[in-house]
Amino acid sequence: MNKILIQDTTLRDGLQSPGISVDLEGTLAIAKALEDLNVDIIEAGFPASGSDAFQSVNQISHTIKHATIRALCRCLEKDIDVTAEALAPARSSSLFLFIATSPIHMHHKLKKSADTVYEQAVSMVHYARRLNDNIVFAAEDAGRTNFDFLCRIIEGVIKAGATTITIPDTVGYLCPNEYKQLIERLRTTIPNADQAIFSTHCHDDLGMAVANTLAGIEGGARQVECTINGIGERAGNAALEEVVMALKTRKDYYGVEVNINTKKLCKTSKTVSQITAYPTPKNKAIVGKNAFAHESGIHQDGILKNPHTYEIIDPNEVGWDYDRIILGKRSGLAGTRHVLEQYGIDRYDDRIHKAFLNEIKNLPVRKLPVLPGTINQILEKIKKRG
């Protein structure tokens, strides 16, 4: 059990981000990009939430051939029926049932007792299992749920046929070690825990979604729910690209495998960012425009001598294709040699490189970093001076 299943929820939790709305065409384009990326499971949407959502899950189920299509539904017969219908064309499908289990959610939102929630969860998992073999149960707001009640409801739904159990930190409240211990304790306390896969679902309200997801894996979770660029409700979800590259880069530490085609990470990130009109910050790990870019002289010199001096990932590994060496006031000879070579300047013509660096030092802030147009202007000026 060293394999980690990747459930991408960009099309469900991700598209619930405030301000994002994507049409059917855009939804299908994202689904295809996720299939190309080789995610194990695409959480495609919430079919019972409206006819557009139904259409979109139904079309994705028609189109996608290599990933399991999973769709969210409440613990209600009518939701389960509609969801199963939307998923019918899929080669491999799965229903994702959820109900809130924390006191605050049960009391204020559902207005139901714990016993009623228990009965509803168990009977609806049982009902759903008759329609589909692949049933996930999520205890919404598990992070703030009473531990004994969480054990009781999970034991009940596993007995009723749930094959995966999601432990959502719905509000991004837990700290990594707490989340790890929660999953560990659930797996060792619940008598039939070995009959289900445990899954993470972490939110980024305190900036800990990725750390919590990785901690969940250390606690024994073997599926993770995440989104491209970390989009999602409020501050978002765990970013798929960060979780995957942490597992790959630190395989010595985590000792687990993922199926993701990492060379497609940057391309998928751009696709999702364009379709959702949600820009990716420049300093975003793995996929940001500056994730492997260097401007200061010492760093440029180190990178050009040996990339491992300042990089722990080969940018080709994630399909990163922005400019790596950025010229600015902090740059030095090594960086200018590298860049100006692409403009036909001999790398050992130090007279030109030094003159060029001098010109950069005098540029106004608005001209920085030095872009191709400015590089050409400076080179012209130096040539004219002779």
List residues near Mn ion by CB under 5 A.
13
Q: How far is the CB of 148 from Mn ion (least distance, A)?
A: 24
Separation of alpha carbons 332 and 353, rounded Å: 9
Helix (H, G, I), strand (E, B) or coil at 3: strand
Which candidate, 34, 160, 175, places its Cα nearest to that of 99? 160
Q: Which residue is nearest to Mn ion (CB)?
A: 13
Largest interatomic CA distance in the chain: 87
Q: Which is nearer to Mn ion, 72 or 340 (CB)?
A: 72
Q: How far is the CB of 203 from Mn ion (least distance, A)?
A: 6
Separation of alpha carbons 276 and 352, rounded Å: 45
| Exposed / middle / buried, residue 52 (Cβ in 10 Å: 0-12, 13-18, 19+) | middle
Q: Which is nearer to Mn ion, 7 or 262 (CB)?
A: 7
Q: What's the token pair of residue 8? A: 């991408």
Q: How far is the CB of 29 from Mn ion (least distance, A)?
A: 23
Q: Which is nearer to Mn ion, 13 or 242 (CB)?
A: 13
Q: Which is nearer to Mn ion, 86 or 209 (CB)?
A: 209
Q: How far is the CB of 129 from Mn ion (least distance, A)?
A: 23
Separation of alpha carbons 164 and 129, rounded Å: 12
Which residues sit opposite 169 in a β-bridge? 202
Q: What is the DSSP string of 251-319?
A: HHHH--B----GGGHHHHHHHHHHHHT-PPPTT-TTTSTTTT-B-SHHHHHHHHH-GGGT-SS-GGGGT
**12 to 30, 31, 49, 198, 344: CA distances (angstroms):** 11, 11, 11, 20, 49
Q: Which is nearer to Mn ion, 238 or 318 (CB)?
A: 238
Q: How far is the CB of 9 from Mn ion (least distance, A)?
A: 7
Q: Which is nearer to Mn ion, 14 or 297 (CB)?
A: 14
Q: How far is the CB of 237 from Mn ion (least distance, A)?
A: 6
Q: Which is nearer to Mn ion, 169 or 295 (CB)?
A: 169
Q: Which is nearer to Mn ion, 13 or 141 (CB)?
A: 13
Quickly count: other Cβ atoms within 10 Å of residue 121's Cβ: 24
Asked if 73 and 97 count as a contact pair (C-beta separation under 8 A), the reply is yes
Written as one letter, the residue type at 196 is A
Q: How far is the CB of 216 from Mn ion (least distance, A)?
A: 14
Q: How far is the CB of 13 from Mn ion (least distance, A)?
A: 4
